[in-house]
Amino acid sequence: MASGVSIEVLDLRHFAAPLLRTVLEAEGEVWRQRLHWDYRASAKLLMQYLDSHMLPGYVALESGQVTGYVFCVYEETKAVIGDVFAMPEGDGASHAGSGAAHEVEETLLRHLFETLLNSPQLCRIESQLLLHPSGTHAGSFRNAGFEVFRRLFMVRQLESAIPDPRVELPAELELRPWRDDDLSAAGRLIAEAYKGHSDSEINDQYCSVQGSMRFLHNIARYSGCGVFAPQVSHVVLDRRTRELIALVLGSRVSPQSGHITQLCVHPTYRRRGLARMLLSIAADCFVKLGAGEISLTVTAANTDAIELYRTDGYEIAHTFDAAVWQRA
């Protein structure tokens, strides 16, 4: 290593949560500074998994101290690399992703790639390292045979009052807040809305109704991306078929920050202002919950959606990479 510090890389399953506490706290600080995201709930969940000693991954050990980790989760024949992080040197978050920390993360990733790529049962590996600026680990992913997709983290500052967001809907359409039993219909809508879409290449859950329902379960039932906010989430349905034709889902990633976890409109109903209306309704609800900003992520190739977000006041605050490996 350039820093001259030697690191040992060991199996994550041998390490109980308290041994990673310092690293997770340092990471939480980076999430807070860079994305205004309260990482404590995610860290708590991760620590529960660590204590079960079943989470696949590696830790970096320097002079007997854990200074970094990487982990993945398996979903049948797919692995999802959930995170890689190494302690920033010096005094703070601004050093993350550079120098020795960067090298530790690259070393951890190489170990995980080697394990995963040599697992014959695996057909696919996905990863979205939201915290790391685009390009940070792109070279390592590409060298291991991954395709890399640039994604944007966009933020809209919220004024105290959003102009009345409702538009007059055609008689056959109905707007209402999200209900728990919308999950199956929402799964059907997502699978339809993302057919042939670049985001289905990044997240293959979008390719099927069942996969989309797994995605929704994770968002709405297990708060996999912040704490799900049913008050913010809305659907539009066709009164005749009772099928959903558009939806927006929101969650809270900190008391001040809301996050749009999903926005989609059935292809038949596009360019009628439905997405813009749903975004405004979500913004209005977030203001009422006391949030000062909303964030969302979008693939750089999704120019239609980016145009919508820009005209709605969202600006790029950060970029990151998604990576996909598919067995030939």
Ligand X SMILES: CC(C)(COP(=O)(O)OP(=O)(O)OC[C@H]1O[C@@H](n2cnc3c(N)ncnc32)[C@H](O)[C@@H]1OP(=O)(O)O)[C@@H](O)C(=O)NCCC(=O)NCCS
Strands 57-62 and 65-75 come out as: antiparallel
Contacts (CB under 6 A) with ligand X, residues 62-81: none
Is residue 158 a contact residue for ligand X (CB under 6 A)?
no
The rounded radius of gyration (Å) of the Cα atoms in the chain is 20
Is residue 21 a contact residue for ligand X (CB under 6 A)?
no
Is residue 202 a contact residue for ligand X (CB under 6 A)?
no
Is residue 197 a contact residue for ligand X (CB under 6 A)?
yes
Here the tokens at position 89 are 């040197």
User: Are 224 and 262 within 8 A, CB to CB?
Assistant: no
Q: Note every long-range contact of 302-308, with CB atoms under 8 Å and residues 24 or more positions apart, other chains counting.
A: 302/197, 302/198, 302/199, 305/263, 305/275, 306/152, 306/154, 308/275, 308/276, 308/279
Which residue's CB is nearer to ligand X, number 20 or number 129? 129
Q: How far is the CB of 215 from ligand X (least distance, A)?
A: 12
Here the tokens at position 275 are 């997405």
Which residue's CB is nearer to ligand X, number 107 or number 262? 262
Among 92, 177, 273, 290, binds ligand X (CB under 6 A): 273
Q: How much of the chain is in helix, strand and coil states, percent to nearest 5?
A: 40, 30, 30
Q: Which among 81-89, 101-109, 214-222, 265-273 is the span making contact with ligand X, rule CB under 6 A?
A: 265-273
Q: Which among 75-83, 131-139, 173-181, 193-201 is the span making contact with ligand X, rule CB under 6 A?
A: 193-201
- Separation between Cα atoms, residue 70 and residue 59, nearest integer Å: 7
Q: Which among 93-101, 171-179, 225-233, 257-265 is the span making contact with ligand X, rule CB under 6 A?
A: 257-265
> Which residue type occupies 168?
E
Q: Which among 141-149, 152-160, 234-242, 271-279 is the span making contact with ligand X, rule CB under 6 A?
A: 271-279
276 exposure class (CB count in 10 Å sphere: 0-12, 13-18, 19+): middle
Q: Which among 10-18, 145-153, 154-162, 260-268 is the span making contact with ligand X, rule CB under 6 A?
A: 260-268
Q: How far is the CB of 41 from ligand X (least distance, A)?
A: 23
Residues comprising the chain, all counted: 328
Contacts (CB under 6 A) with ligand X, residues 302-321: 302, 304-305, 307-308, 311
Per-residue contact track with ligand X, 217 to 256, x per CB under 6 A? ----------------------------------------
- Separation between Cα atoms, residue 158 and residue 286, nearest integer Å: 8
Q: Which among 10-18, 105-113, 140-148, 297-305 is the span making contact with ligand X, rule CB under 6 A?
A: 297-305
Residue among 90, 88, 94, 50 at smallest CA distance from 67: 88
Is residue 272 a contact residue for ligand X (CB under 6 A)?
yes
Is residue 193 a contact residue for ligand X (CB under 6 A)?
yes
48 CB neighbour count, 10 Å cutoff: 11
Residue among 25, 24, 22, 26 at smallest CA distance from 93: 26
Is residue 298 a contact residue for ligand X (CB under 6 A)?
yes
Is residue 195 a contact residue for ligand X (CB under 6 A)?
no
Q: Which among 5-13, 47-55, 259-267, 287-295 is the span making contact with ligand X, rule CB under 6 A?
A: 259-267
3-state SS, one letter per residue, for 191-206 = HHHCCCCHHHHHCHHH
Which residue's CB is nearer to ligand X, number 189 or number 323? 189
> Which DSSP symbol is given to 132?
S
Is residue 270 a contact residue for ligand X (CB under 6 A)?
yes
Which residue's CB is nearer to ligand X, number 106 or number 312? 312
What is the binding site for ligand X (CB under 6 A)? Answer: 193-194, 197, 263-265, 270-276, 298, 302, 304-305, 307-308, 311
